[in-house]
Structure 1
Amino acid sequence: MSSESPTKKDIYNKYHLKKVINASGRMTILGVSTPRSEVIDTVSCGLNEYFEIKDLVDKTGQYIAQLLNVENAVVVSCASAGIVQAVAGLITKDDRDLLFNLHSSDKYVPREIIVPKGHNINFGAPIGTMVSLGGGIMVEAGYANECKPEHIESLINPDTVAILYVKSHHCVQKSMLSVAQTAAIARKYDIPLIVDAAAEEDLQTYYQQGADLAIYSGAKAIEGPTSGLVIGRHQAVEWLKLQSQGIGRPMKIGKEGILGLTKAIELYVTDPQSETGQQMVAKMTPFIESLNTLKGISAKVVWDGAGRDIARAEIAFDASVIGKTAVEIIELMKQGEIAVYFREYKANEGKVDADVRSVTSTQLDIIYQKIKNITQGAQ
């Protein structure tokens, strides 16, 4: 058998995989992001060495904590696993019976996790499922379009374990209390605050605002391997780490992932290379101008709904002119030799968003030609 490293072409041919242009952003269904070469080299090194894993977990966590100026940190397998283990850690603390029998023990322990109703989302899986896996019982505060401090305060009782705040574009944005307001409530009642900040770009602000545990995806803004990062108060992180002996065992991350994300965080903090929103605008402007020459199509720049410095191209399809709905166009864009994926959240409004962070100018030309062929009847 050949020992040569497979080429990109080999991978696509061997497994009969379709090439993808990712205009949807840092999405799990497409593999999220592409790490820098330094991260890939670190992953390779990690794969080929042995470590005392507990020591690796502790020492890399200490290193990350120093980089970010936080009390404690740990690398986990993904952000959703971080939510599960955060909830479980705050419920079980250092109780070994609960650690080993989280879902079967009949011992009384507080289990309620308060979540603003507008944050009870499906991010690819339900937030409520992550809470339940961690042994918690989710309690919704406020309404789908409104959550004020008093809505959360009215639900706090002896069974309350923590408040979970989800910072995401998936969530309702209007009439929601802020992380800082939520942290003030948590401090007032001496209960922990968990912030799910999976796709967020600032690795310090939520901790600084008062989160006891802040959870990030390692493969999104940080552009590491598939992984997650949890930072926060020392004891809360230590309780979470104990879950490797319980519910966290099937969620364990390998040595290569731990080292790869640690390197990615180091680069993210010391040598950031991400595009600014204005750079994204410059890259997509010729693409938008070309789209606006097509009948039944209008395109413009829109900014991230959750306030991140991300610009996208919003493309509106007039079904009465084109003869196809946005939903139909979305599916047709995925067909053929190259599949193009957009952000599909506005499809019911006849629109899609193109996220250009992982798209080259050449690929934008391919996307334009494919849209033109589909909408102008050339396909």
Structure 2
Amino acid sequence: MNKVINASGRMTILGVSTLSPEVLDGISYGGGHYFEMAKLYEQAGIAIAKRCRTENAMITNSASASIVLAIAGLITKDDPYAVEHLHKVSQHLPNEMIIMKGHNVDYGAPIETMVYLAGAKLKEVGYANGCSLTHLESAISNSTIGVLFVKSHHCVQKNMPSLEDVSAICKEKGIPLIVDAAAEEQIDGYSELADLIVFSGSKAIEGPSSGILAGKNKYIHYASLHRSYIGRAMKVGKETVFGLLAAIEQYGKKTLSGEDQKRILQQMDVLNNIPGVKVDVIQDEAGREIYRSRLFVNPSIAACSAMDVVQSLKAGEIPIYTRDYHANEGHIDIDPRPLLEGDIEYITMRLQEILGG
């Protein structure tokens, strides 16, 4: 199989992250020994919770699975019959999950699919171009089991309530708040705001494919009761547990600073010499400490359009994947975080070939 260059970010379609030797050693250790899995899950959850600064945590096979189990737990609580017969009884129990319309995104799968898989109903509030606290507050009813807040660059950013404001309303109304922070770099800044937090084990943490559900003891307990039922399809093996624990131990030690990211991207400045091309370094639209090169292509002057550039990069001997969400508007982004040694030079060379520099 040919490798590809990932200039898009920590994307599931490209394998998310590369694994460090420490993580690979953890996977090897876990895979080479036997464990009492119930105890291993419990002990690993405690260790991860300490790093996330929450009361408890559990490991799942993906962030999506963590969303499903979090919501399923809010429906059934600790009722053993409801846990075992989730989809038979969920429609007869309070099961409305509130989400702001601008947060109902497709991150590779529609987030609403995970809500429905958990046995809940999704209740959208606000509009695609904004939402108010009044919209949110007035939607809460006796059927409400929680609010789902998606912390992601995929979401509408303008005219939206802050996480802090949403958290305040949930606390006032006694409604559990789930924060989907799977795409975020920070894993220890949500415990005071949310009851349950969802992380990806393979994105910012750079561990094996996995998810983390962290939060208050009560809600983690509710979710964990589903391990032998709907959660059976979402379990992880011992090798994943030890790989993730190793990644948690390494978390933050090798993260590129904002200045390091800018330094790497400076090598693309040479592309400014090509007619119809402009390169700027821009910060992540959600305000995270992430910087990317934005390549603007004027098709009336340059050799081709931004859409053509995207396709040509993918069609090369070593395919290059960029952040191409706005290629139809004339620009693409290069994310330096997943790049390996020599990648930025190769990307720059290919862009010079394609654009005629």
TM-score between both structures, scaled by the size of structure 1: 0.91
Query: Can you give the 5+ residue segments of structure 2 that lack an aligned partner in the other structure?
Result: none
Residue 213 (structure 1) aligned with residue 196 (structure 2): yes
What CA deviation, in whole Å up to 9, does each residue of 1:14-39 have, x standing for no partner?
xxx22211100100000011122111
What's the offset of the Cα at 1:228? 1.0
What's the offset of the Cα at 1:375? 2.1
What CA deviation, in whole Å up to 9, does each residue of 1:325-357 have, x standing for no partner?
222221111113100000011112111000011
Which of residues 125, 129, 133 in structure 2 aligns to 1:141? 125
Report the number of matched residues.
357
Q: Which residue of 1 aligns with 2:253?
A: 272
Q: Which residue of 1 aligns with 2:265?
A: 284
CA distance in 1, matches of 2:72, 2:232: 12
What letter is aligned with 1:177?
P
Residue 340 (structure 1) aligned with residue 340 (structure 2): no
Q: Which residue of 1 aligns with 2:289?
A: 309
Q: Which residue of 1 aligns with 2:212?
A: 229
Is the 8 Å Cα contact of residues 148 and 180 (structure 2) preserved in structure 1? yes
Identity of aligned residues (%): 45
What CA deviation, in whole Å up to 9, does each residue of 1:132-169 have, x standing for no partner?
00111111111112122111111000110100000000
Is the 8 Å Cα contact of residues 19 and 337 (structure 1) preserved in structure 2? no
Which of residues 188, 193, 200 in structure 1 aligns to 2:177? 193
More displaced 10-residue stretch of structure 1: 356-365 or 232-241: 356-365
TM-score between both structures, scaled by the size of structure 2: 0.97
More displaced 10-residue stretch of structure 1: 325-334 or 193-202: 325-334
What CA deviation, in whole Å up to 9, does each residue of 1:193-222 have, x standing for no partner?
0000002122121112x2000011011111
SS where residue 342 of structure 2 aligns? helix
What letter is aligned with 2:254?
Q
Is the 8 Å Cα contact of residues 112 and 137 (structure 1) preserved in structure 2? yes
CA distance in 1, matches of 2:320, 2:52: 36
What letter is aligned with 1:224?
G
Which of residues 351, 356, 374 in structure 1 aligns to 2:336? 356
What's the offset of the Cα at 1:366? 1.1
What letter is aligned with 2:212?
L
Residue 66 (structure 1) aligned with residue 50 (structure 2): yes
Which of residues 71, 75, 94 in structure 1 aligns to 2:78? 94
Q: Which residue of 2 aligns with 1:319?
A: 299
Is the 8 Å Cα contact of residues 70 and 196 (structure 2) preserved in structure 1? yes
Give the aligned CA root-mean-square deviation in angstroms. 1.4
More displaced 10-residue stretch of structure 1: 302-311 or 93-102: 93-102
SS where residue 139 of structure 1 aligns? strand
Query: Can you give the 5+ residue segments of structure 1 that lack an aligned partner in the other structure?
Result: 1-16
What letter is aligned with 1:283?
I
What CA deviation, in whole Å up to 9, does each residue of 1:22-59 have, x standing for no partner?
10010000001112211110111001111111111101
